[in-house]
Amino acid sequence: MRKRRLGNGGLEVSAMGLGCMRLSPGHGAVAGTRQEMIALIRAAVERGINFFDTAEVYGPFVNEELVGDALAPVRDQVVIATKFGFQIDSEKDPHPAGLNSRPQYIRESVDGSLKRLNVDTIDLLYQHRVDPNVPIEDVAGTVKDLIEQGKVRHFGLSEAGAQTIRRAHAVQPVTALQSEYSLWWKRPEEEIIPTLEELGIGLVPFSPLGKGFLTGSITEKTHFDPEDNRGSFPRFSPEARKANQALVDLIAAFAAKKHATSAQIALAWLLAQKPWIVPIPGTARLQRLEENIGAVAVELTPDDLRELDAATAKIPVYGDRYPAALEQMTNR
């Protein structure tokens, strides 16, 4: 597996990571037992992936425990990223009660994550969403203190706006921004990616496969598990899925010409954008994991990229990414 460097802070990770959110309960049905998900994470390590993404709100809490147990035997070989920022009132309630990035709550969240992950230091700590009630300078200053204490190595933000990134970076250098970026969500190209390039910050795209839609495995007839949050997203309404099938078909046709899968083309396109972009597709299936890893070897020429960009630009994407309440938490 090739390596890439995130930001100017010296954090080197595999060219592709693994998003672990759906490997534990709380975001839809899990495609296997806990032991099977641990085995999948370890299989990713065996195949060269060393970058794993979790968060305290996934579950909540149980995902960090899963990732910690899975990676304990290889702790010195991997990079673990987790996140704080949602107010969680109860382990039994999977729905966070708003945002909370007050300094004391950050410290409490980090101490909890360290225990659940069974680590001495968190390699990359993200603010999950920007809290409008807490100045970003206070957040960055708190993480800076945690870095000085040895509890955290690198600071990250998620779905933050350009000015917030600049303000945070001035207090504590930001190593990586995690935000959605894919062939059906290119808005980061307008302002975010130029800002990251200027400041020397890496980009970790989540949902690089459009939450599974770009693979072609989801159609207008797909029924989501009641706990699967995709079922509540406007972009995943049956009408939007039907309208957006044109983009899926286009990617599939291009993939056929390149003797690759749709997922591999979507991931290879991301990898070709910048050398400091590291996508974190999530999967609970070994076959899909190996397919995704295969994208690292897919070479897209400048002509390929121009063709893909020109063709996808002609296809409008229907439906908002999130319900209004969630969308308001982005690009702050």
Residue scoring higher pLDDT (90 or 54)? 54
In angstroms, the CA 45 to CA 75 distance is 11
The predicted structure's pLDDT at residue 92: 59
Annotated domain spans of the chain: 3-327
Q: Are 158 and 128 in contact (CB under 8 A)?
A: yes
Q: What is the pLDDT of residues 12-34, one digit of tens each?
A: 999 999 999 999 998 888 989 99
| pTM of the predicted structure, to 2 decimals | 0.97
How many percent of the chain have pLDDT more than 70? Answer: 98
Q: What is the pLDDT of residues 188-205, one digit of tens each?
A: 999 999 999 999 999 999
Q: What is the residue-averaged pLDDT of the chain?
A: 96
Helix (H, G, I), strand (E, B) or coil at 156: strand
The DSSP secondary structure of 162-231, one letter per residue, reads: HHHHHHHHHHS-EEEEEEE-BTTB-GGGTTHHHHHHHHT-EEEEESTTTTTGGGT---TT----TT-GGG
The predicted structure's pLDDT at residue 93: 61
Structure tokens at 125: 């700590």
Confidence of residue 216 (pLDDT cuts 50, 70, 90): very high
The predicted structure's pLDDT at residue 141: 98
pLDDT exceeds 90 at position 225: no
CATH architecture assigned to 3-327? Alpha-Beta Barrel (3.20)
Q: What is the pLDDT of residues 43-75, one digit of tens each?
A: 999 999 999 999 999 999 999 999 999 999 999
Catalytically active residues are 58
The predicted structure's pLDDT at residue 259: 98
